[in-house]
Structure 1
Amino acid sequence: MPTWIRESRPILDSWIDTNNVDPAAVSRIVDGMDLSEGREPADEVGRPQRPEILIPGLTAVPWWDDARLPWVRQLEAAWPEISAEFAAVRGVGSEYGVRHPNEHNLADAGRWTAYYFYMLGRTYDEHIAACPRTVEALADLDGVRDSGMCYFSVLSPHAHVTPHCGFINARIRCHLALVAPEGARMRVGTEIRPWREGRAVVFDDSFEHEVWNDTDRTRAVLLFDVWHPDLTDVEKALLAHMMPVWKSFLYRDEDL
């Protein structure tokens, strides 16, 4: 039973009290914590969606249809400038970037690096200054700064990221393909899709997903999270407060 969920509950209750929030307005999040405290995702192998915290009542689909996400086409329109900034700060032939924090436990082959812009409210000012058009293209998207992560994600040739699930279902994730060699692909749930340069795919990372780049070229995407579209504003505010708290408990023994 994950004790970190129980240990973080007083922080959640304090936020509700301090901000005079009606508990009914955030009952889905409280219920999700209560339900998740009694779960052990490692014992749920075979279930496609098994995050550490599972909030009830949110649309649960592995891949999201662009029709509900009007910002996808606007993002794709900015691809040439975003791709140029990626090449300027890194270039596919270099080793620029930092080791991805999950490389050691998820990448069983190859190298996985990241060039961060945001992580759970933390900003990487030098990177933001170096890529103004990329940051501008993301500025109006709901939750890029505080729902999760935003970075250039780079997989070396012949890399493999093993099956895993994101830790919460309160966000959805986008990949804008910057460098997409033919044969590189990703599975979310049971469906495998390739990347196409200049195109974006959106998925729910709380579903099991896996990535292969068994090619001789680097694969690179702009990866970022946005809030799940079903969340209310008050739920987002509470989650923005709790996400770094949960991460600090969940990875208290890891250097992230």
Structure 2
Amino acid sequence: MEDCAQMSMDQVEERLRSLIEDWGLSPFGKNIAFMWLSKAAIDETDQLSRLRQWTVMQLNKRQRPANVSPWQFGCPNLLPGLRSQPVWLEDMYDTFPWIRKLETAFPVIRDEMLQLKHSTANFQPYRAPSWAGVKQAADGVGSISHDAGDWNVFYLHLHDVDYAQNRALCPMTTSILESIDQHYEHAFFSALAPQTHITKHHGPTNKKLRCHLPLVVPSEDSCRLRVGDEIVHVREGECFVFDDSFEHEAWNDHPTKSRIVLVVDVWHPSLSGPETKFFKFLRKARLKMERKHAEGDQDGFYQILKDAQHLQANPDAIWT
């Protein structure tokens, strides 16, 4: 296929509009996206350099940027020009100053999470579409991503689904999340039952990073996360940030007690403000269209989320 560098401006514009057409946006969304990408094409400053590189990569039908880690090859959406490392620990507090607030609030967040045991709203089994999990769930709702034990979640934010009722039960946690400038609007409590293994997998993109605040950890030697070729041992009240575009997996090897963490996704700090604004717009526009087109798809992400909300999580898999 002809590289866009050898094409005329009219040919580039035609291919750009064809690219945007594939995103499934509304007519208004298509026009906004075209304006953004056209601006990136002529802006020679660093503010839009990653968006510009990504656009060229998309136009040239390249699957991923050059020089990415082999551990990221399974991630479907990789943006060029971002700082890339499996785990962010060395300068974590300088890069993510809000983490100090999160760790300071650890007792309050932990208490709100523990109070859910007595609430009518509770954790739900983690489920995914059939193509994204390890095997089909026994109850027929989606697939599971663990090959041992049990995995349950309590969503606070996820893909513009309405979890206001859940957030109302955790007002302090919600307030702290809303104070994070780069919040990706994806946050949840994650409970691994005793002797649970979440199998190796990749996140959907490197445009975001993932922060864990461990709330309940039975013992340091029983709970760990592998990200790429690095191992993180989990400690209560101590955050860590990792890039979930790298292959990763998690364990709770404790024989009798669960591990519970708060998971918070944030936009990658290498993105400029304008780039984050564009990708926020694109993400929300695509989620809106995907949700509209997903109606009636029993193996679709949104239908599975809806069905899983009505499933009863095993209390012993959470509150042991």
TM-score, with length taken from structure 1: 0.83
In the TM superposition, 1:185-224 aligns within 5 A as 185-215=224-254, 216-224=256-264
Cα 1:218–1:137 change in 2 (3 A) is same
- Among candidates 158, 162, 167, match of residue 195 of structure 2: 158
Cα 1:34–1:200 change in 2 (3 A) is farther
Q: Distance in 1 between the 2:110 and 2:125 partners?
A: 21
Aligned to 1:175: 212
C-alpha distance after superposition, 1:186-213 (max 9, x if no partner):
0011111111111111000001111011
In the TM superposition, 1:116-135 aligns within 5 A as 116-135=155-174
2:267 aligned with 1:227: yes
- Among candidates 58, 63, 66, match of residue 87 of structure 2: 63
Q: Distance in 1 between the 2:180 and 2:99 partners?
A: 10
Q: What amino acid is the match of 2:22?
A: E
C-alpha distance after superposition, 1:52-97 (max 9, x if no partner):
1110000001111313222111110000000000000137xx9931
Q: Is the 8 A contact 2:20 2:30 kept in 1?
A: no
> Mean Cα displacement is larger for which, 236-245 or 63-72?
236-245
Aligned to 2:23: 8
**Matched residue count:** 243
2:74 aligned with 1:47: no
Aligned to 2:101: 74
Q: Distance in 1 between the 2:218 and 2:20 partners?
A: 40
Q: Could you say what the CA RMSD is over the residues aligned between the two structures, in angstroms? A: 3.1
Q: Distance in 2 between the 1:130 and 1:174 partners?
A: 21
Cα 1:219–1:95 change in 2 (3 A) is farther
Q: Is the 8 A contact 1:16 1:23 kept in 2?
A: no
Deviation at 1:166, TM superposition (A): 0.6
User: Where does the alignment leave 5 or more consecutive residues of structure 1 unmatched?
Assistant: 41-45
Q: What amino acid is the match of 1:8?
A: W
Q: What amino acid is the match of 1:159?
A: T
Q: Is the 8 A contact 1:31 1:56 kept in 2?
A: no
Q: Distance in 1 between the 2:58 and 2:98 partners?
A: 31
Aligned to 1:43: none
Cα 1:88–1:218 change in 2 (3 A) is same
* Structure of higher CA gyration radius: 2
2:67 aligned with 1:30: no
Q: Is the 8 A contact 2:188 2:263 kept in 1?
A: yes
Q: What amino acid is the match of 2:215?
A: L
Q: What amino acid is the match of 2:33?
A: I
Aligned to 1:96: 122
Q: Distance in 2 between the 1:13 and 1:30 partners?
A: 15
Cα 1:134–1:198 change in 2 (3 A) is same
Deviation at 1:9, TM superposition (A): 7.0
Moved over 4 A (4+): 9-13, 18-21
Cα 1:99–1:32 change in 2 (3 A) is farther
C-alpha distance after superposition, 1:94-141 (max 9, x if no partner):
993112133634211221111111113444111111101101122221
Q: What amino acid is the match of 2:264?
A: F
1:89 alignment partner, SS class: helix
User: Where does the alignment leave 5 or more consecutive residues of structure 2 unmatched?
Assistant: 1-18, 42-47, 134-142, 303-320
